Amino acid sequence: MPYADGALAGIVAFYAIVHLRSDELAVPLRECHRVLAPGGLVTLAFHAGTAEIHVDELFGCATSLDFRFHRPEAVVGALVDAGFTLEARLDREPYPDAEHPNPRTYLLARKP
């Protein structure tokens, strides 16, 4: 990221890890840790599970994207390995008829 060490107080990353495999989370989470000030927070939201979904159309436009779901325990482990302390976790079911039908996880972690 184009920020100095400790430059940010918080990072919001909702569905930002959908294009990464779980084994690819270490580098971006270490980078989040680097740019956060001590006591800084990162919040992650992601689709929970092990599915991989490929789409050729999105919002009426042709595309080629792969979306990866993550086991919450794997993401928590990657956060801890990157130096974060887990502050909170929320798991929820999808809103019926409003979004993709799989659970979501929200994590809040702090840089000590």
Compute CA 13 distance to the chain's CA centroid, rounded to the nearest angstrom: 6
Q: What is the CATH number of the domain that holds 69?
A: 3.40.50.150
Domain membership flag for residue 53? yes
User: Nearest to residue 36, comparing CAs of 96, 88, 102, 108?
Assistant: 108
Domain membership flag for residue 3? no
Instruction: Using DSSP bridges, classify how beta strands 85-92 and 104-110 pair: parallel, antiparallel or unpaired.
Output: antiparallel
Q: What whole-number distance in Å separates Cα of residue 37 and Cα of residue 41?
A: 9
Domain membership flag for residue 67? yes
Domain membership flag for residue 35? yes
Domain membership flag for residue 91? yes
Number of domains comprising the chain: 1
Residue 78 confidence (pLDDT):
98
pLDDT digits (tens, 9 = 90+) for 37-83: 999 999 999 999 999 999 999 999 999 999 999 999 999 999 999 99
- On whether the CB atoms of residues 25 and 77 are closer than 8 A, the answer is no
Residue 104 confidence (pLDDT):
98
- The boundaries of the domain holding residue 71 are 8-110
